[in-house]
Amino acid sequence: MTDITTEKARIGAPSAQPFINGFTEEGESLSPLNAAESKSPLAGEAVKRHSHGGGVGVPDSSRAGRLTSYKLADFKALTGMEEDWRFTPLKRLRGLHTEVLNGAAPSVSVTAPDSVKVETVGRDDRRIGSAAIPEDRVSANAWENFAEATVITVPSEVQVEGEVSVLLAGQGTEASAQHIVIVAEKFSKSVVVLDHQGTAVVSENVEILVEDGAQLTVISLQEWNDDAVHASSQQIKLGRDAKFKHIVVSLGGDLVRVTPSARFTAPGAEVELFGLYFADAGQHLEQRLFVDHAVANCKSNVLYKGALQGRNAHTVWVGDVLIRKEAEGTDTYEANRNLVLTDGARADSVPNLEIETGLIAGAGHASATGRFDDQHLFYLMARGIPEDVARRLVVRGFLNEIIQKINVPAIEERLTEAVERELAATNH
């Protein structure tokens, strides 16, 4: 009955690029490429205003070579064959990749202590583009079409009590664009919650700037209605000694695709990227993350956990971690765990680790997708706990590992209840 596969993913480039000097077929040998041309916290930006394939000397197959641009026209129309779209059912994007995104964007209401500055700004605000550059067509489409942006600033050295709560309430099914900027200034400490609810078809760009010595937690909750379609590019730029924790929770929506990218610009910074998703019948929940170790002595830790139940429940997790040549002393680990509760569900999990220097503290990746662990089940049942109760206990336990990391009691409670509802839905 045990059906557990631990996939050791390929180290290196995923696509079928012809042989590249220095890369074996498995991409295991250290890259001889001089990454100076591509060394950049915003990938293409520092190389040139936009780039087609990462600039000089970077193979298209490397994550460093991903096209980034503020202009929609720079991205070709999607076919579904692209590496970063191959798992996404484009037909269900409801025009986010093809239409002009001029529908009403989800309304934004922010609840925050007085010490936090909340502004609504136009497209020409200088902070737009300070932490992000679109990495795919849907994100670029939103960038080209958003009307106004919400900028949340935690001023220098301010320690915010409680959390900054941002409610994004869907306004219907017309394709729309959203833009949020979160700036955690130097030595500030805060927690920001992006709470996505209702019905929307929206492409969203979230720029997150974590300045030197700042500590920021961003919790992105996707508790959409069943008919929502949401693409969210959440890009994080970290200064020296900055600490950032990201928790992505996707429960509701027909199609949700969250693509967090964290980029280090100075040494001593740390990111923790956590995720929890629970897909029911027919739901497509996708998460693709990127950690760009472009400078020395930074740390990253990634853990995403997902549960799936019901026919055609589909989850996708792709974790790209790039350790550039300059990023000596990097310490990184990424893991994805999926628990398949019923037949007919599908979990794709692809950890990619590219390493261009051997002088690192540590680099690891892991992925496991299994049914219930029969050993857990046996242990609990051998203590008199009936199978259905034991299963619930295990699933709760499995997902709780992420919930426990949130450290905001009200949200932990709310998510625990939400998971209970998901479990109750199929009586597990």
DSSP code for 91: G
Write down the least CB distance from residue 276 to other proteins, Å.
11
In the complex with other proteins, which residue's Cβ is closer, 328 or 373?
373
Write down the least CB distance from residue 301 to other proteins, Å.
16
Nearby residues of 77 by Cβ (< 8 Å), 6 or more positions away:
97, 98, 137
In the complex with other proteins, which residue's Cβ is closer, 285 or 390?
390
The closest alpha carbon to 222, from 277, 280, 290, 165, belongs to 277
Write down the least CB distance from residue 380 to other proteins, Å.
7
Backbone angles phi, psi at 118, to 5 degrees: -120, 125
Binding to other proteins (CB under 8 A) within 42-81 occurs at: none
Write down the least CB distance from residue 394 to other proteins, Å.
7
Please state, in angstroms and as integers, the Cα–Cα distance from residue 414 to each residue in 32, 98, 168, following that order. Answer: 49, 36, 17
- DSSP lists the bridge partners of residue 304 as 275, 336
Please state, in angstroms and as integers, the Cα–Cα distance from residue 123 to each residue in 126, 145, 149, 179, following that order. Answer: 9, 9, 7, 9
In the complex with other proteins, which residue's Cβ is closer, 247 or 296?
247
The region of 187-195, 262-270, 316-324, 368-376 touching other proteins under the rule CB under 8 A is: 368-376
The closest alpha carbon to 314, from 342, 275, 350, 281, belongs to 281
The answer to the question of residue 276 lying near other proteins (CB under 8 A) is no
The region of 42-50, 93-101, 234-242, 371-379 touching other proteins under the rule CB under 8 A is: 371-379
Write down the least CB distance from residue 375 to other proteins, Å.
5
The answer to the question of residue 107 lying near other proteins (CB under 8 A) is no
Write down the least CB distance from residue 287 to other proteins, Å.
20
How many chain residues interact with other proteins (CB under 8 A)?
Answer: 26
Render the burial of 165-178: b for 16+ CB within 10 Å, e for the rest: bbbbebbebbbbbb
The answer to the question of residue 26 lying near other proteins (CB under 8 A) is no
Write down the least CB distance from residue 403 to other proteins, Å.
9
In the complex with other proteins, which residue's Cβ is closer, 229 or 419?
419
324 near 292, Cβ under 8 Å? Answer: yes
Per-residue x/- track, 376-405, other proteins (CB under 8 A): x-xxxxxxxxxx-xx--xx-xxxxxx--x-
Q: In angstroms, rounded to a whole number, what is the distance separating the alpha carbons of residues 428 and 342?
A: 10
Measure the CA angle with vertex 321, ends 327 and 13; round to 5°. Answer: 105
Per-residue x/- track, 199-238, other proteins (CB under 8 A): ----------------------------------------
Write down the least CB distance from residue 307 to other proteins, Å.
12
DSSP code for 386: -
Please state, in angstroms and as integers, the Cα–Cα distance from residue 416 to each residue in 236, 253, 397, following that order. Answer: 27, 18, 10
Backbone angles phi, psi at 390, to 5 degrees: -60, -40
Q: In residues, how long is the chain?
A: 428
Residues that bind other proteins (CB under 8 A): 1, 373-376, 378-387, 389-390, 393-394, 396-401, 404
